[in-house]
Amino acid sequence: MNGTSETMGAQREPVTVVIVGAGSRALNYASYSLKHLEAMRIVGVVEPNPVRRAHTASLYDLPADRCFDSVDALVSGPQLADAVINGTLDALHVRTTLPLLRKGYDVLLEKPVGISEAEVLALYRTAETYGRKVMICHVLRYAPFYQALNQVIQAGEIGDVVHVQTEENVDYHHMATAFVRGKFASLERDGSSFLMAKCCHDLDLISWFKTGVKPVRVSSFGRLSQFREDRAPEGAGTRCVVDCPIEERCPYSAKTLYVDRGLWPVYVWPGYLDGVRLREEEKLASLAGDNRFGRCVWRCDNDIVDHQVVQFEFEDGSTAVHSLVGGAAKACRTVHITGTTGEIYGELEEGVFVVRHPDPWTEDGVYSERKVNIEVSGEMHGGGDHRLVEDFLRVVRGDPDAGYSTSLAHSIVGHVAGFRADVSMAAGRTIEIDWNGILV
């Protein structure tokens, strides 16, 4: 497309989109269309759960012939839309996206791209072969906090980046719900490691800050230290509301977290995304029964690590470290970037970062500092979710001003680094990354 008035007029036609996997993330992205019908229109859904499928159809007024129980059913007929939002589970990302690319759809794909380096690269090569546009939901690149921070880097305000240090602290109730009791607790069962399920965002940010310079060596260490049976407090039962005498004073109490506080309903209560709302007594009965979220947090089937550190060396000799810690009191992402002439330090949730420079001529004779305040949005991921959708729509239209920051080609760097980090952790040795041939 070019910038003519005729093209601009064509751009006013909404991009048509099919939802594949009507979970919370895909529905969040799709909800952009409810306020911006002129830009995006949901025209179909693929969802194996019939209740969820019907509920999604009612949200977007979809006829029965636009509702499918599988991707195979969707691609067996004519192409229905310009693009797809793929919000399936991690292990299904690649296998559901490949036929969509072959059919002609552009795809907005939830992260992580896939559950192995090999399948991620296979997806990349298929997208290249068919000339399809694939954007990955690395929404933090679109968060105003990180966009402003990266602008400081790209402007050269701190010189050349020498070291990047990032940290994600996963708070105790999120850790217990998603990574101990929930659907990301087991590598063998669920497909993604703790690092890739939770922190491929952060690895992507590191690669973004070092755009054009790739990591060539990685080492990683981690362990399951907290959430295991031998660490259970004395007297702990097996299910919080059934046989646990310490439940009332336990911070991981399923009753406290999911009934009294009402946290994580999408995870915990069957049918929540389909509009089902349980009464308190029904919730307690569910937690006492076979609901996996009613289990003692120290007596689950989780096998992923609960803390991990990753170290990178880049081809220009610079370094990076990412720390992932589960069970923290406060959820937060921090970043500290040191350059040859200055540094940046900030915390996403606070919406503030500072830029410092060595300066012996200041009043305190140490450094000068300016503070950058970013309005913190109540939206998830620092306000990046719908900004990402907006850019995806521009990409699909062929808008030359689209950022396309999280293209599949860009996102592969952080993914490969993350997969190699997990190999390093398992093998107990440093792993080399030879990029020759990876992105051919």
Which mean pLDDT values do the consecutive 10-residue runs of the chain (440 residues) have? Answer: 38 89 94 95 97 95 97 97 97 97 98 96 96 96 95 97 98 98 91 94 96 96 97 96 97 98 96 91 97 98 97 98 97 97 96 95 87 75 84 95 92 96 97 84
Q: How far is CA 139 from the centre of its chain?
A: 7
Residue 420 shares a structural domain with residue 407: yes
Domain enclosing residue 29, as ranges: 5-132
Query: Treating both helix axes as pointing N-terminal to C-terminal, what angle do 117-130 and 408-427 enclose, rounded to 10 degrees?
Result: 160
Is 97 a domain residue? yes
Residue 284 shares a structural domain with residue 409: no
Distance separating alpha carbons of residues 209 and 206, to the nearest angstrom: 5
Residue ending a domain, among 294, 317, 340, is 294
Distance separating alpha carbons of residues 379 and 20, to the nearest angstrom: 22
Check residue 4 and give its pLDDT: 35
Residue 260 shares a structural domain with residue 216: no
Helices (H), strands (E): how many in the chain? 18, 15
Distance separating alpha carbons of residues 263 and 5, to the nearest angstrom: 49
Is 439 a domain residue? no
Q: What amino acid occupies position 410?
A: H
Residue 199 shares a structural domain with residue 325: yes
Phi and psi at residue 162, in whole multiples of 5°? -100, -40
Residue 127 shares a structural domain with residue 168: no
For residue 112, whether the previous peptide bond is cis, meaning omega lies within 30 degrees of 0, is: yes
Is 334 a domain residue? yes
Is 440 a domain residue? no
Check residue 9 and give its pLDDT: 40
Name the domain count of the chain: 3
Residue 279 shares a structural domain with residue 147: no
Name, in order, each residue with C-beta under 8 angstroms of 305's C-beta and a sequence gap of 6 or more. 193, 194, 222, 223, 224, 425
257, 263, 265, 268 alpha-carbon torsion, rounded to 10°: -30
Residue ending a domain, among 271, 294, 317, is 294
Name the pTM for this structure: 0.92
Residue 122 shares a structural domain with residue 175: no
Residue 217 shares a structural domain with residue 240: no
Check residue 440 and give its pLDDT: 53
Residue 316 shares a structural domain with residue 392: yes
Residue 243 shares a structural domain with residue 145: no
Residue 425 shares a structural domain with residue 321: yes
Check residue 433 and give its pLDDT: 95
Is 110 a domain residue? yes
Residue reference for tokens 């069962």: 189
Residue ending a domain, among 98, 132, 166, is 132
Distances (CA, A) of 218 to 34, 210, 334, 416, 430: 43, 15, 21, 10, 6
